[in-house]
Amino acid sequence: MSDQPQTPRTLRSPDWAQARQAAFDAAAALPPHWLPLGETAGETLAEDLRAERPVPHYTSSAMDGWAVNGPGPWRINRGEYEQIDQRVAWARTEEPQLKPPRSLAVGEAAPIVTGGLVPFSTSAVLRSEWGLEDGDSLRLSPEAPEGAPEEGKNLRRAGREAETGELLIRAGTRLTPGHVAFAATTGLDMLPLLRRPRVTLLLTGDEVDEDGVPEPGRVRDAFGPQLPQFVHLLGGQVDAVHRVGDDREQMLERLTGSAVGAESVLDSRAQLIITTGGTGRSTADHLRPSLEDSGAHLLIDELGLRPGHPALLARMPEDGPFVLGLPGNPLAAMTTLMLLGAPLLAGLGGNVIPPLTTVRLTRELPASKTDRLAPGLAFVAGAAVSGTTITDLSEGADAQGTELPSAVALSRAGSDQLRGFSQANVLLLIPADGVRPGEPVQALPLPWL
């Protein structure tokens, strides 16, 4: 038997579910990496984070005042000045520092500030407004309540937030600034994170203007200003963006990479190349013949739905980068990126496949020739909600038998239109048979709102 891995078969015009799963299954997770805390917000934790020591790791004061041992009145122990080696004393420019006491005898008190290390044997901290100093003695002020200070009062005990070995943050958590701040308080400087797949964008078209209002017959670039951010929301990291003319040789050169130069070094890190336009089969479309010339293998050849029918997913030779070919029409490109790009990036990044949700349509949608992906607006109690909330509510409805979130398909949603998509929070998966009012349908939550 041959040890050579088998080339996966090409899926031709699969339905949305097959295409989505195939894109996810094609990817192998990249190894995690470690980043400094300042670069971790918004990233995904790769391993369970457990306390390496008690949090906090020492007992401190919760107030300005005096650490005391036992009931008052107290003798004030102000500590000792640090010992100076007389052989080098002549070279010192600063005054000796007063070091607070490490422990307190019964009946002693020591001045302390909020967050200060509490001396051993401290029974409580007396807040500053409840004490009166008289030389080296301390007594309660008239304002102090009877019995002050209570045993253990105003002490922040070591381990009060977490004990050694306790689970702090679970693997798979998308880190917030709160998570990062907490990790810092535990003494960590770096965290293990799922690696964002590196992405190169190839934006095609001789007729595309990057700014202003295009002349009739030309079009404004709708991809360059937002695709890097869209890819980031889906878990990828765009390293390079290249403009490619409607030319087969240019496309082939960009797909295969130059032999030298800074751009080739940067592009060589890419696990995914995303192209826009040129996915059809006319003489003006150059992606497919360029992939064939490069020896790439087609994983998905067109989709059995609209918009996005001419899309493709390929793999460059020798386990090279994936190539996701988005159609040139803007809505078709966006729906394809959600259907194929999102699961592919999730697989490469070591995440689970993005969850689907279920919504109930409020209006009828007629039958059509194929399944459709339609921009939709999902809402609860009349208010639009985020994709994550929609998923949570949908799962809760399944478990508890409550009402599903409602949704409507938005107008102005042709393959070349973006107005409907700009208002959407889900992509509705509409079967070719259409949908009657009140029927449930599956939906892809969009990663914003």
User: Is the residue at 4 inside a domain?
Assistant: no
- The CA distance from 264 to 241, in Å, is 12
| 218, 245 Cβ separation under 8 angstroms | no
pLDDT in tens, 181-225: 999 999 999 999 999 999 999 999 888 888 999 899 888 889 999
User: Is the residue at 6 inside a domain?
Assistant: no
Q: Which of 135, 156, 177 is the last residue of a domain?
A: 156
pLDDT band at residue 413 using 50, 70 and 90 as cut-offs: confident
pLDDT band at residue 399 using 50, 70 and 90 as cut-offs: very low
- The CA distance from 92 to 163, in Å, is 42
Domain count, the chain: 4
User: Is the residue at 236 inside a domain?
Assistant: yes
Instruction: State the residue range of the domain holding 167.
Output: 34-54+162-193
Cα–Cα separations (whole angstroms), residue 49 to 37, 167, 189: 13, 6, 13
- The CA distance from 349 to 314, in Å, is 18
- 268 versus 112: the higher-pLDDT residue is 112
CATH of the domain at 83: 2.170.190.11
Which of 316, 328, 445 has the alpha carbon at shortest distance from 379? 445
Asked whether residue 216 falls in the same domain as residue 319, the answer is: yes
Full-model pTM: 0.81
- 385 versus 410: the higher-pLDDT residue is 410
pLDDT band at residue 402 using 50, 70 and 90 as cut-offs: low
As a whole number, mean pLDDT of residues 377-387 equals 69
Write down the pLDDT at residue 247.
Answer: 87
Instruction: Kindly tell me the number of DSSP H helices and DSSP E strands found in the chain.
Output: 10, 30
Alpha helices for 325-385 (secondary structure H): 330-336, 342-348
CATH of the domain at 226: 3.40.980.10
User: Is the residue at 5 inside a domain?
Assistant: no
pLDDT in tens, 122-181: 999 999 999 999 999 999 999 999 889 999 999 999 999 999 999 999 999 999 999 999
Asked whether residue 325 falls in the same domain as residue 256, the answer is: yes
Of all residues in the chain, the percent with pLDDT exceeding 90 is 73
Q: Is the pLDDT of residue 434 over 50?
A: yes
Write down the pLDDT at residue 261.
Answer: 43
Asked whether residue 338 falls in the same domain as residue 222, the answer is: yes
pLDDT in tens, 25-60: 999 999 999 999 999 999 999 999 999 999 999 999
The conformation of residue 365, written as its DSSP 8-state character, comes to B
- Cα dihedral sign, 84-86-87-93: positive
